[in-house]
Amino acid sequence: MEFTASQIASFIDGKIIGDENALITGVSPIESGEAGHLSFVAQDRFAHHLETSQCSVLIVTETLINKDQYNPTIIAVKDAYLSFQILMNLYQEMQGRKEGVEDGSSIHDTAVIGDRVYIGAFTYVSEKAKIGEGSQIFPQVYIGKGVKIGKNCKIDSGARIYDYCIIGDNCVIHSNTVIGGDGFGFQPTPEGFQKIPQLGNVIIEDNVEIGSNCSIDRATIGSTTIGKGTKIDNLIQIAHNVKIGANNVIAAQAGIAGSTTIGDWNQIGGQVGIVGHIKIGNQVKIQAQSGVNSSVNDKETIYGSPAISYNDYLRSYVHFRNLPELAKRINNLENNSKDHTNE
């Protein structure tokens, strides 16, 4: 797609300084601008790029402009960051949605497919599955028996959604994520471990996004649930019967063990591990790589393995780094004390 500077300015109600016919065919980060590309400058510390950028067009917060002419064409706006976001969203929408059922997909007779749905080639839709209006199911997806997918969802290539799982509206599930695999439940016997059937499902509420290569296991009985608006990064493990509330953000490679309950608006860092059967409140921040082994109250910030208060951990860690020195000082004290004793 191609746009002129004047087309772009009209989308975001900007004022052009320079060539209004300057052509844009792509977008660059400001640090590595390219001819024919668009970028933006919203902060003083990036304002020097106004002079040096190779970009053909820059969207610039108006207060940063102090000359009548620059090498790139400038589009002056109130808030360049915001305007750029609006533009990116517009661009995304222009890419369009896919629609229609491609040859080579396999859809069971009893499946119910809504209006304007896209189903890609090599996607398998099992009996009695329902796919809501406007949802896009990319190629090579597996949808099990009785699965329900809401409206306007996007399920990327290679995602697997097992029997009876339920997904709300406006959800995005990225490639190769597995929803509703068996929970890890085995009973020890003297001869070995016996599988405990995992008969529950996974329920994902509206506006949830789940990254690639995640594993969200089905409940033993009942449901593993992920609340409205929660965003989950890549390579994350959510075990059986976990209950996650609304508007959480969970970073890559975190893992949450079975039956743990998590409230709303929490921030869980990358590679965090949370044991089973505990309760995390609301607005909790868990630093990356922490190991959480007991329940956490609202608004706490924690760190470490096992995790303790963030500030306490950092304070202790300063002394940890200094332990050889502390040990030496104890030695000295002991030697002095012996001297005293020998006196």
Q: Which of 91, 101, 282, 301 binds a second copy (CB under 8 A)?
A: 91
Neighbours of 327 (CB within 10 A): 10
Min CB(124)–a second copy separation in Å: 4
Question: Please, which of residues 277-306 interact with a second copy by CB under 8 A?
Answer: 288-289, 291, 293, 305-306
Asked if residue 205 lies in contact with residue 227, where contact means CB atoms within 8 angstroms, the answer is yes
**Nearer to a second copy among residue 115 and residue 192 (C-beta):** 192
Among the listed ranges 11-19, 69-77, 219-227, 277-285, the one in contact with a second copy (CB under 8 A) is: 219-227
**Nearer to a second copy among residue 66 and residue 341 (C-beta):** 341
Question: Please, which of residues 223-262 interact with a second copy by CB under 8 A?
Answer: 228-229, 231, 233-235, 237, 239, 241, 246-247, 249, 251-253, 255, 257
- Report the C-alpha gap between 110 and 251 in whole angstroms: 38
CA 307 remoteness from chain centre: 23
Written as six digits, the tokens of 48 are 């020097």
Asked if residue 295 lies in contact with residue 310, where contact means CB atoms within 8 angstroms, the answer is no
Q: What residues are annotated to the active site?
A: 240
Question: Please, which of residues 131-160 interact with a second copy by CB under 8 A?
Answer: 138-140, 142, 156-158, 160
- Angle among Cα 208, 213, 214 to the nearest 5 degrees reads 50
Q: Name residues whose C-beta falls within 8 Å of residue 125's C-beta, 6 or more positions apart in sequence.
A: 105, 106, 107, 108, 111, 113, 119, 131, 137, 143
Q: Name residues whose C-beta falls within 8 Å of residue 188's C-beta, 6 or more positions apart in sequence.
A: none
Question: Please, which of residues 30-59 interact with a second copy by CB under 8 A?
Answer: 32, 39
**Nearer to a second copy among residue 21 and residue 312 (C-beta):** 312
Tell me the per-residue interface mask from 168 to 207 with a second copy, x by CB under 8 A, - otherwise.
----x-xxx-x--xx-x-xx---xxx-xxx-xx------x
**Nearer to a second copy among residue 68 and residue 192 (C-beta):** 192
